[in-house]
Amino acid sequence: MSVLEIKNLQKTFGTLTVLKDISMTVERGEVVSIIGPSGSGKSTLLRCATLLERIDHGGLRYSNVQVAEDDKTGKCVYLPNNQLRKVKSMFGLVFQNFNLFPHYSILKNIIDAPICVQKRPKEEVVAEAMKLLDKMGLESKADAYPYQLSGGQQQRVSIARALINNPDILFFDEPTSALDPELTSEILKVIRELAMEHMTMVIVTHEIEFARKVSDRVVFMADGVIVEEGPADEVILHPKQQRTQMFLSKIIAER
């Protein structure tokens, strides 16, 4: 069974329909990159999938949990709040600006939610968090505070925070856009390592070369619809749709 299924999703802000009938399935272990011009609705799609925005129409399913779907009258209904909280441990989201909690130490940033929300035993969570920090090369920073870390290090902490509940799927929204170019590679390396461990991931990115190398599938979005999708090499090297070709040639020209 697929890890994530989005079905005929529609999202409107006021009079602006930002997502028009988006359908997308992500299989276990798959890495999907979403590319597309600014304002095409990539972030909104991730925000809908991670329950930061309510969808207006359509279905959203994580593994065997149907989170939202249209009822007979066409109104989209969500699971009750107490069940949504459980769903939130099934995915993780890595933000562009990290959004670490500045008043918590690095370790506490990672362990607080599993302990206070998921009610997992503290010793187990701490041990796991230390393992994750170790993997991110940050074991010496457990007691530091976010302001004492570089942007790249903060982003690695936020990845660890997203991984602590062993989510089925991890979303990234332009994880390197807020970073200096020389810090970008350390984050891309972490994502590549996760891909090799078969972590299921959906990555919104402007790093086309990276998207091609790391992902199994690339989705090209424009104006709230999926214009083209397919194997990474195919979409990026041999796009079929004119809209995709234009977008990619513009990006390459900017280099």
Partner 1 sequence: MEMLPPLAKGLVTSINIFLLTLLCACPLGMVIAFGRMNRHLVINGPIRLFISVMRGTPLMLQLLVVYFGPYYIFRVSLAGYPPFLAVIIAFSINYAVYFAEIYRAGIQSIPVGQYEAATVLGYSKLQTFFKIILPQVIKRILPPMTNETITLVKDTSLAQVIAVAEMFTIAKRLANAQSSVLALAVAGLFYYIFNFIVAMVMEKCEKCLDYYR
Ligand X SMILES: Nc1ncnc2c1ncn2[C@@H]1O[C@H](COP(=O)(O)OP(=O)(O)OP(=O)(O)O)[C@@H](O)[C@H]1O
Q: Which of 65, 77, 117, 196 binds partner 1 (CB under 8 A)?
A: 117
Q: Is 175 exposed, middle or buried (0-12, 13-18, 19+ CB in 10 A)?
A: buried
Is the Cβ of residue 11 or residue 141 nearer to ligand X in the bound state? 11
- Whole-Å CA distances, 208 to 110, 121, 190, 203, 251: 30, 41, 17, 11, 8
C-beta of 173: minimal distance to Mg ion in Å?
A: 6
Specify the pairing of strand 65-70 against strand 4-13: unpaired
Residue 248 contacts residue 239 (beta carbons within 8 Å):
yes
Site string for partner 1, 55-94 (x = CB under 8 A): ------------------------------x--xx--xx-
Q: Nearer Cβ to Mg ion, position 109 or 176?
A: 176
Helical segments of the chain, H only: 42-49, 81-87, 106-116, 122-135, 151-163, 181-196, 208-214, 232-237, 242-254
Of the residues 72, 75, 103, 255, which one makes contact with partner 1 according to CB under 8 A: 103
Contacts of 131 (CB under 8 A, 6+ apart): none
Report the residue from 23, 29, 39, 134 that binds ligand X according to the rule CB under 6 A.
39
Instruction: For the segment 17-46, give every residue that binds partner 1 (CB under 8 A).
Output: none
Could you tell me the smallest distance in angstroms from the CB atom of residue 25 to partner 1?
22
Q: Which does 44 bind (CB under 5 to 8 A by kind): ligand X, partner 1, Mg ion, none?
A: ligand X
User: Cβ–Cβ contacts within 10 Å for residue 228, how many?
Assistant: 21
Q: How are strands ordered across the β-sheet holding 57-62? A: 16-26, 4-13, 57-62, 65-70, 76-78
* Binding site partner of 150, from ligand X, partner 1, Mg ion, none, Cβ cut-off 5-8 A by kind: none
Cα–Cα distance measured from residue 68 to residue 29, given in angstroms and rounded to the nearest whole number:
23
User: Residues 10, 41, 155, 215: which binds ligand X (CB under 6 A)?
Assistant: 41
* Residue 6 binds ligand X (CB under 6 A): no
Binding site for ligand X (CB under 6 A): 13, 16, 18, 36, 38-44
Binding site for Mg ion (CB under 5 A): 43
Binding site for partner 1 (CB under 8 A): 50-52, 85, 88-89, 92-93, 95, 97, 99-103, 112-113, 116-118, 145-147, 161
